A and B are shown apart, each in its own frame.
Chain A
Amino acid sequence: MKNVYIDANIIIAAFMPEDIFFESSKKIYSKMGVDYEGYTSPLSLVEIAGVISTRLSEFPTELMPIKVRKKLQNLSSEEMAMLITYYIADRDGLNFFHVPGDAKIRIRARSVFMPTILSHALTHSLKLGLRAFDAYHYATAHDLVHLYNIPLLFLISNDKHFLKSRNTIGKLLNLTVASSDEFAQIEKL
C-alpha cells in the first residue's frame, strides 16, 4: 500500500461528475484502502463541511431528487450538511491525521497556547510564506513524514498554491506533489 496525502479538493471533486477533475479524483478516491493509504488533515472535514453548508444555503430543495427529498424532510439544513459531509468523508483507507496535544509559544512576555499542529503550521507559514490553511495541511503532511515516520509518496492536490510550490514542498517532504490528473497518469489509474 502506498501512502499519499490527499487534499480536500480531491475528495470533493470525486463527488462532482461535471467537474474537470472528476474522473481522476474519483479513480484516486476509489483506490483508497485498496492500493493507497490516504492521509489528510481533519481540516479537510471543516473545508468540506464549509462547501456543503454554503451550497445547501444557496440550493433550492425542490431540485433534490424527490425520493431523496422525502427522506431528508425531517432534517434541518445543519443536519443535512453533516449527513452529506460525513458521507463524502467516510472512506476506508482515508485517515484523518491528528497531532495530539497543545503547544505553548512565547510572544515576548506572553504565553500563547494552541493545538500542537497549529504551532507547527505557524512555523511553516513563517518559513515558507504559506497561507493559513495551506500551512495547516503542509504541517500535517510534514508531521506525518518527519515526526511519525510515515513516508508519503505523493501529496495530491489541485490547489494552485501547492502546485506552484511543488519543488520546494517536494524537496522538504521527500515526495512528489501532483495534481489529480498527473497522479492518475503517473500511477496509470
Chain B
Amino acid sequence: MTEVVPIRIPKEVLEKIELLVRLGKYANKSEALRTIIIEHLEERKELLTYEELLSQDKKISEVAESLDEKEFLELCKAILSGRKTSVELIEEQREEIG
C-alpha cells in the first residue's frame, strides 16, 4: 500500500534527482525519492531505535510511578541479595575489562 505525500524540496536537490532520472538510475522522480528515503531509513536505523527507546522510557516511567519507595526498596533488596557483596558485584563488572 502506498500513499501520496506532497513535499517541498530545494531546487538544487530536485535538479540532482532529475539528473539521476535522465541518467537512467531511476525510472522517474517518484521512484528516485522513494528509493532514497527507504535507503536512508535503512542506513540510519538508530533514528528508529531512538524512537523505540523513547516509547520504552515512557512505559518504564509509568511503571515507576506506580511503585512506591517501599516497593522499590523491597525490589532492590530481593534482586541484590545473595552471597556477593556490593564490592564484589561492581568488581565483577570491572574485571571484565580492567
Contact = CB atoms under 8 A, between A and B. Distances in A.
Nearest to A54: B92
Q: Is the interface of B mostly helix, strand, loop or mixed?
A: helix
Interface in B54-98: 56, 59-60, 63-64, 66-67, 71-82, 85-87, 89-94, 97-98
Given A19-B85, A20-B85, A159-B90, A83 B60 contact: yes
Contacts of B59: 74-75, 79
A22 B80 CA distance: 12
Interface residues of A, number: 47
A159 B91 contact: yes
A133 B98 contact: yes
A159 B94 CA distance: 10
A100 interface: no
Nearest to A63: B78
B14 to A, nearest CB: 36
Given A65-B71, A75-B59, A88 B76 contact: yes
B72 A71 contact: no
Given A64-B75, A83-B63, A87-B64, A47 B86 contact: no
Contacts of A67: 71
Given A75-B60, A87-B64, A15 B87 contact: no
Interface string A61-95: 00111011001101100010011101110000000
B86 A158 contact: yes
A21 B67 contact: no
Contact of A8 (B60, B66, B78, B90): B90
B87 to A, nearest CB: 5
Interface of A: 7-10, 12-13, 15-22, 25, 46-47, 50-52, 54-56, 59, 63-65, 67-68, 71-72, 74-75, 79, 82-84, 86-88, 131-134, 158-160
29 contacts: A8-B93, A9-B86, A12-B86, A16-B76, A16-B81, A16-B86, A19-B85, A21-B87, A47-B90, A47-B93, A51-B89, A55-B79, A64-B78, A65-B75, A65-B78, A68-B67, A71-B63, A71-B71, A72-B63, A72-B75, A83-B63, A86-B60, A131-B94, A131-B97, A132-B94, A132-B98, A133-B98, A158-B86, A159-B87
